[in-house]
Structure 1
Amino acid sequence: MKKTAITLFFLLQAACLFSQIPRPEYPRPQFERTDWINLNGEWTYTFDFGASGLERGYAGSKGFDGKIIVPFAPESKLSGVGHTDFIGRIWYQRTIDIPADWSGRNVMLNFGAVYYTSEVYVDGRFVGRHFGGSTSFSYDITAFVKSGGSHSLVVFATSDLRSGKQTAGKQSLQYASHSCDYTRTTGIWQTVWMEAVAPEALARVQMTTDIDQQQLIVAPQFFRESPNTLRVTLRDGGKVVGTRQVRASNSSVVVIPVKKARLWCPEDPFLYDLTYEVVAPDGQVLDAVKSYVGMRKVHIEGNKIYLNNEPYYQRLVLDQGFYPDGIWTAPSDDALRRDIELGLAAGFNGARLHQKVFEERYYYWADRLGYITWGESPSWGMDANDVETARNFLSEWAECVVRDRNHPSLLTWTPMNEEWWPDNTQFPRFASDVYDLTGRLDPTRPVNTVSGGAVVRTDIWAVHNYEQNPAKLKEKIFSDGTFFHPRLRTTRDQTRNIGFNEVKATANYAWPQYDGSCPYLVDEFGGIKWVKDQEKQATDSQTESWGYGQAPRTLEEFYTRLEGQVDALLSLSGQVWGYCYTQLTDVEQEQNGIYCYDRSAKFDMDRIKAIFSKRPEHPAR
């Protein structure tokens, strides 16, 4: 009875919060169609702890006993379930109604993300299977549904978090949250929606903003090639800047001159509007997609990172994207925007999106508000020395890069975090493959292959150092600035990797040191533990909280330590080209955020902003 009462309480709470469809906004704002149906809201569900659901005919279910609010994971309060133990299998069901006027068009069923593997059924018929818990995917269900008809949609999600075969990020591998690992996320955790598209519609595009040649290059890909025309129109507000038409072919390339372009940067996050239209020979518009683009360039020369051909210093904050009521899922679109506004209000010009693939709506707001982002996978939890794990990671990471590579705010790819390997494993090959794959899918951004870890090939030398004493921090940056010893850096067109047989025991191997040939960033530091109203609390009240180093005894000591650490990094002018402070908010028991977990302020934000707004001595912005 107690469990039933708790579940009922969560359901009533969720129902009050979401009297209408939760997360109603279009989930893919850089590739938006108008004819779509949001499938968020109440679904039925059941757990399948005995792994017998298929045998019991769950794929053809018309409804399960439990009720859950999608897109919130069953571990979250907002789902109405709040089951926080390990969930190996969960089944979802809801009825979908296909509009009669969708006849003649293809019906696409889209998922923002389902953790970790998923199978989809319509009226008991198998539609498809997806591997990877962080990336978006779609199915053409036209053959499974009828216009004007109602159908039963079933989604089966599985997760084996402790297997080491899948990415987990900061999901706890123990029963409870501990240190810097938190509540898990299973099943559907982003928006589910349907849309009607023409058979010849545009499937995706890849945009390249070439500011040196003053042009925008668009490479389209279609669901089906045709003799139709793709018309691309670029606008500055209501003014047409340029338009081009090409054949609706996957080999076509659209080039639009953009003279005297207004460039995107955090100080001026200007975005051009884009429309894509597939036009039939008789002039009928078969497909129309709204989009936008930020004209900007990021590249590396020597030991500097450049934005729009000028050296640019990045003052980032670690953002883990956890929410008290939604866990991995933001409770609202406003919550996504608010997190960026909090970062800006604290003096940062961007965030390293840590151990989680953030949803596209987050990138949309970062693009709009002028906030640098680093894209990262939830690589923790996987056995990076296992071949099957490597295969799983490569396909999921590729989907991530393809989905997000058009966002101007995203400046750096960080596939993995603090990975390491023992003797004679496949990790060096795996890391090299990740580096190559990322560069081939997106050659326009630097790749920080392993942040703060054992790097085989990388464009950025990124280290983690949580030394709390500012003077010692400055002294140690170039001597032991990473948890793990870095490997030799090679460029994308070089092949000098250390052979497996040459990998020696850590204690006996002469690890190379940073040689100044690439940008050096401290992309984790700080993590100063501070509990709100800490000075008013008893000493033993902090035993359940977690952070780096010994917590300051007073608030003034906190400010002094924080400013000293930032000043230490800024004083390394011309050597260190950016930093990332840990972290934006507290997350559960980890209490080292600039803000509390509920996003309320911990500190005098004017003082915090004054510290993180400081610029380095060299002339970079």
Structure 2
Amino acid sequence: MKDIMTIPRPEYPRPQMVRPEWVNLNGEWEFEIDHGKSGKERNWFNDNQKFSREINVPFCPESKLSGIAYTDFMAAVWYRRTFTIPASWNGLRILLHFGAVDYDTEVWVNGQSVGTHRGGYTPFSFDITSYIQSGTNIVTVCAEDDVRSGLQPRGKQCDSYSSWGCDYTRTTGIWQTVWLEGVPQSAYISSVKISPDLANECAHVEAKINGTCDGSWSFTATALYQHKQVGSHQAVVSGERARVTIPISDIHVWEPGRPNLYDLNLTLLKNDQKVDEVQSYFGMRSVALDGMTFKINDKSVFQRLVLDQGFYSEGIYTAPTDEDLRNDIELSMKLGFNGARLHEKVFEPRFLYWADQLGYLVWGEYANWLFDITTATGLERVLPEWMEAMERDINHPSIIGWCPFNETWDKNGTKQNDEVVRIVYKVTKQLDPTRPVIDASGFYHVSTDIFDVHDYDQNPETFKERYEPMGAGGDVHVPFPDRQKYEGQPYFVSEFGGIWWDPVAKNEKSWGYGERPRSEEEFLTRYEGLVSVLLNNPNIFGFCYTQLYDVEQETNGLYTYDRKLKFNQKVIQGINSRTAAIEKALKEEAKPSI
């Protein structure tokens, strides 16, 4: 095994469920492209199979960092590497984890299939205890990928040979950390759901237990703030679940820019003897819609969001380092944004960890771009993985809303199946009643807590004419009135701008919205005009500007693809940081009468 300093992405990949016993399997793997998807027929999973290339995991083969940089379509890809189990793990159960593999995956250990997974964005794991042997072991992975099917959620991965417009280089196969974990043989904590209850000054914790537990088993959750215990509770394990409510004696709320977080120690005991222990964390914060306002901890917060696509020039879907994830958030905050729409991608957990740590608001989305939901068949592919994504991310205080669909375009003249949208909305609300849900961002709304629109009008005057009546209590702008109806929900312009600005003004391959400004001054005048329309409207609770950085040919970012700032930071920050009308009105109401 290589020294940890030479392993790419060496940090612990699951920050909300940390155990000390783990081994990172990132780094050099054998690799093969299987254009004909015939590898299984040819028994490529056998122990004696050798592949002709090497790849640097967890970077996808399309990326430079993988060492492959092959950007044509790949029907299937294969990976193979050896590993050994630490001697200190003797007697433990061995789990093999994958952060994300795109898209249909099968895994073999020592030539035996240990399981399959469908979905390109969510984690999965297999208990491989009974498949391993002493000494050297072999893990083989096959991932099949077809973004052209229309029934594989792909996000912004391009379904034509070359990237164009707002579709970018594809990601095939492994793109998040692969790792081994040692857990107790008898029973262990497999997942946890943390529900902060600010109104009652407590946190509800529900743990899922893998293993058979009788009445001699108990579960303890202990909360700490800055290393000081502020609450603890113990309960008997009931079946495969353990539920406790922890009273919090010292309340510090999590909010934008003030990321107060509590550590959480979770312990599984048998006859009061510790069997398993996991470290986690949580934030005490509430989210609520109140009239036209969006409140966090009962305070109206105007959402100054930016669209983040989650792409990297050398890693494609995968950030080169953990620091790059943090850096993207800090770059956004330096420009006066307080959050982001994590667009058309289920971002990796480490990004959400940094959002939690930095007090950054985010919307959890799914990768449905141009996915076919004209029939109920689409539900089969979307709902299981969306539920997995929610289960993985539900504890993050930075996530303040869910958005399972974005721009549900019709397919070949056939309209979306509204029941697919409605069912996914209802399931989302059932899994998490604490956050608002946008059913289909931009269009076409069926059942939604928030009415949002996408508007790429580049003229601040016509943009103003569209929304000004609403600010005065008049007509509300409703795109596609034949397909959706406004029913008094809070209003959100969740995509706008996208101003096309390429420092190389004559680059004909670049793309953006509308006509390119002729100068930086013209860009800033347009930017200020569009942003001011939304900040000045008391009946709009937030905006999301497209976008934070360029991605390949789409050059409408405030930063370049390599994260170089295009404009004067203080000017952009000043425009974004002006007091929003809705916040100003609430401050005026709060003033004591004389």
Bucket of the pairwise TM-score, normalised by the shorter protein: over 0.9
Residues 303 and 543 of structure 2 are in contact (CA less than 8 Å); yes or no, is this contact kept in structure 1? yes
| 1:208 equivalent in structure 2 | 195
Q: Tell me what 2:495 maps to.
A: 524
* Secondary structure of the corresponding residue to residue 54 of structure 2: strand
Note the C-alpha offset of 1:56. Answer: 1.2
Corresponding residue to 1:581 among 529, 535, 545: 545
Aligned to 2:39: 53
The reply on whether 1:253 has 2:243 as its aligned counterpart is yes
Letter in structure 2 aligned against 1:550 = E
* Aligned counterparts of 2:24 and 2:424: Cα–Cα separation in 1: 34
**What is the distance in 2 between the residues matched to 1:343 and 1:153?**
40
> Which residue in 2 is equivalent to 1:106?
93
- From 417, 432, 435, give the equivalent of 1:442: 432
Distance in 1, matches of 2:343 and 2:484, equals: 27
Question: 1:231 maps to which residue?
Answer: 220
Displacement of 1:618: 2.7
What is the DSSP-based 3-state SS (H/G/I as helix, E as strand, rest coil) of the residue aligned with 2:388? Answer: helix
| Structure 1 residue 18 displacement after superposition | 9.8
1:315-335 alpha-carbon deviations (Å, 9 max, x no partner): 000000000000000000000
CA deviation vs aligned residue, 1:515-540 (integer Å, no higher than 9, x gap): 4x2110000000011112x5xx5xxx
Aligned counterparts of 2:46 and 2:578: Cα–Cα separation in 1: 60
Report how far residue 23 of structure 1 moved.
0.1
Deviation digits for residues 150-189 of structure 1, max 9, x if unmatched? 2110000001110111101111111000011000000000
Q: Is 1:264 matched up with 2:254?
A: yes
2:522 counterpart SS class: helix
- Separation of aligned partners in 2, 1:52 and 1:183: 25
Determine if contact 1:171/1:184 at 8 Å carries over to the other structure.
yes
Report SS of the residue matched to 1:162.
coil
Residue in 1 that maps onto 2:592: none
- Tell me the residue number matched to 1:459: 449
Which of the numbers 130, 150, 156 marks the counterpart of 1:170? 156
- Whole-angstrom distance in 1 between the partners of 2:44 and 2:331: 44
Give 3-state SS (helix, strand or coil) of 1:343's partner: helix
CA distance in 2, matches of 1:586, 1:236: 39
How far, CA to CA, are the matches of 1:239 and 1:116 in structure 2? 44
Deviation at 1:246, TM superposition (A): 1.2
Q: Distance in 1 between matches of 2:414 and 2:515?
A: 38
Please list, as runs of the form range in 1=range in 2, the aligned pairs for 1:230-309 lying within 5 A after superposition: 230-249=219-238, 250-281=240-271, 283-309=272-298
How many Å separate the matches in 1 of 2:5 and 2:11?
A: 15
- The residue aligned with 1:559 is 524
Matched, 1:415 2:380: no
CA contact (8 A) 2:306 2:548 kept: yes
Distance 2:355 2:288 in 1: 20
Match of 2:556 in 1: 592
What pairs with 1:92-491 in structure 2 (closer than 5 Å)? 92-146=79-133, 148-198=134-184, 199-226=186-213, 227-249=216-238, 250-281=240-271, 283-421=272-410, 427-477=417-467, 485=480
1:615 matched residue in structure 2: 579
Offset of residue 284 of structure 1:
3.3
Q: What TM-score, normalized to structure 1?
A: 0.89
C-alpha separation in 2, matches of 1:101 and 1:570 = 58
The answer on whether the counterparts of 1:465 and 1:481 sit within 8 Å (CA) in structure 2 is no
Contact 1:415 1:434 in 2 (8 A): yes
Q: Residues 141, 602 of structure 1: CA spacing in aligned structure 2 closer, same or farther, 3 A cutoff?
A: same
Whether contact under 8 Å (1:71, 1:190) holds in the other structure is yes
1:521 counterpart letter in structure 2: F
**SS at 2:35's partner residue?**
coil
**Residue pair 1:61, 1:93 contacting (<8 A) in 2 also:** no
Does the aligned pair in 1 maintain the 2:209–2:241 contact within 8 Å? no
Equivalents in 2 of 1:232, 1:46: separation in Å? 46
Contact 2:257 2:360 (C-alpha < 8 Å) held by counterparts: no
The Cα shift of 1:121 comes to 0.5
Q: Secondary structure at the match of 2:581?
A: coil
Q: Is the 1:415–1:449 contact (alpha carbons within 8 Å) kept by the matching residues of 2?
A: yes
1:511, distance to aligned residue in structure 2 (A): 4.5
Shift of 1:104: 1.9
Question: In 1, Cα distance between the equivalents of 2:550 and 2:67?
Answer: 24
What number of residue pairs does the alignment pair up?
A: 572
The letter of the residue matching 1:437 is V
Residue aligning to 2:590: none
Alpha-carbon distance in structure 1 between the residues aligned to 2:47 and 2:290: 58
What is the alpha-carbon distance in structure 1 between the residues aligned to residue 224 and residue 77 of structure 2? 46
Secondary structure at the aligned position of 1:202 is classed as strand
Unaligned 5+ residue runs, structure 1? 1-14, 487-509
Cα 1:234–1:19 change in 2 (3 A) is closer
Contact 1:33 1:288 in 2 (8 A): yes
Residues 514/292 of structure 1: CA separation in 2 closer, same or farther (3 Å cut): same
**Is 1:514 matched with 2:478?**
no
In 2, Cα distance between equivalents of 1:18 and 1:233: 31
CA distance in 2, matches of 1:45, 1:21: 17
Per the alignment, residue 591 of structure 2 pairs with: none
* Distance (Å, rounded) in 2 between the aligned partners of 1:55 and 1:471: 63
Instruction: Give the aligned residue type for 1:161.
Output: V
Distance 1:335 1:266 in 2: 21
Q: How does 1:76-87 map to 2 (within 5 A)?
A: 76-87=63-74
Deviation at 1:481, TM superposition (A): 5.6
Shift of 1:475: 1.7
Q: 1:78 to 1:511 in 2, by over 3 A?
A: closer
Letter of the 2:234 counterpart: Q
Deviations 1:238-283 (A, max 9, x none): 21101111123344321111145110001311001111111221x4
* Alpha carbons of structure 1 residues 388 and 350: separation in structure 2 relative to 1, 3 Å: same
CA distance 1:168–1:588, shift in 2 (3 Å): same
RMSD (Å), alpha carbons:
1.9
Partner Cα separation in structure 2 for residue 544 and residue 49 of structure 1: 29
1:599 maps to amino acid = R
Q: Determine helix, strand or coil for the equivalent of 2:208.
A: strand
